[in-house]
Amino acid sequence: MEYFDIRTPDGNVTGEIKERTLVHRDGDLHGTSHVWLARKNAAGKWEILLQKRSQGKDSFPGAYDISSAGHLPAGQEFLESAVRELEEELGIAAGPEELRFVGWHDATIVTEFYGKPWNNHELSAVYVLYRDLEPEEMRLQASEVESVLWMEYDECRKRMQDGTLEHCIFLDEFQMLGEYLNGKGNKDECHAHSGQK
């Protein structure tokens, strides 16, 4: 069984801990970490790594999603969880200092899966990791991730909006990521490359 800390709207823990299925039944606010992998392609455009969720997931099976994301287990904080999920889901070892904080995202989804109500209210810490790795260089967690693919940011946003990409990504979060990449991201990337031989 998985247990989550119930949180306040500013991300602090309330002291209450609940089991995952009850949190999703009752719509309690809980924490998640979202990490987007980004790289520049030969044309100088940003590409984003999408993961395809495994068919066995309890929500949105088979849909394209954030590069790496996960709920915060009780007692764990956002950045620590982000680093752990990267290692578990994609086999990518990254130091906390490599993750750039993009912002906070508060979202609610009320739907159902497998005939059961699913009321999800999550506060997400959104990060970006600049890493140019091909899918075959990653070690995917089969129970979580079916496959991964790189897609140019603008194409991904267009396909999300026109319905040609089956996904469970929040469009406002994706736009926040794009604004970050086209602002601070360009500076981050230049800085990173200037330190390489």
Please answer whether residues 78 and 11 qualify as being in contact, where contact means their C-beta atoms are separated by less than 8 angstroms. Answer: yes
pLDDT of residue 189: 57
pLDDT of residue 105: 95
pLDDT of 191 strictly over 80: no
- Taking each helix axis from N to C terminus, what angle separates 171-180 and 153-162, rounded to the nearest 10 degrees? 160
CA atoms within 13 A on the CB side of 101: 10
For residue 20, give the DSSP letter. Answer: H
pTM of the model: 0.90
pLDDT-derived band at 195 (thresholds 50, 70, 90) equals very low
List, for residues 89-136, the tens digit of each pLDDT value.
999 999 999 999 999 999 988 877 778 777 889 999 999 999 999 999
| Residue 78 identity | F
